[in-house]
Amino acid sequence: MKIKKGDTVKILSGKDRGKISKVMHIYKDTGKVIVEKVNIVKKHKKQTGDKKDEGGIVKVEAPISISKIMVVCPVCDKPTRVKIDRVKGKVKRVCKKCNKSF
């Protein structure tokens, strides 16, 4: 997978199109990611037995498809496709626009 946790990504489609944020979690089996402050939904949460865990309506980030995001290169600060390059047995990710590894 060419996207990793902590990468800065740009949202390509949906209600949050154009936002730039960080990847918080990746679900490899379903091909979805959770991006910080993107795709916020309201969820009804039931109160548990202890008093500190209150119930109510909470806002959480929902997963979005990995095809709807694009990695932002940390070198040139542009959304770009990523290619995989192997140098001396090590795998490096390379920006297709500026040809620099990150």
The confidence score (pLDDT) of residue 85 equals: 95
pLDDT of residue 25: 98
* pLDDT value for 96: 96
Q: Which CATH number fits domain 8-71: 2.170.8.10, 1.10.3720.10, 2.30.30.30, 3.40.309.10?
A: 2.30.30.30
pTM reported for the whole predicted model: 0.86
Residue 97: per-residue pLDDT: 95
What pLDDT is attached to residue 51? 73
Range 73-77 contact pairs with CB under 8 angstroms and sequence separation of 24 or more: 73/97, 73/98, 73/100, 73/102, 74/8, 74/102, 75/100, 75/102, 76/100
| 83 neighbors 94 (Cβ within 8 angstroms) | yes
pLDDT at 48: 85
Q: What is the pLDDT of residue 41?
A: 97
- Which residue intervals of the chain bear CATH 2.30.30.30? 8-71
Cα–Cα distance, 42 to 63 (Å, whole number) = 13
Q: Which pLDDT score is estimated for 1? A: 84
Task: Give the residue among 73, 53, 60, 75 at the shortest CA–CA distance from 25.
Answer: 60
pLDDT along the chain (102 residues), means of 10: 95 96 98 97 90 88 97 96 94 95 92
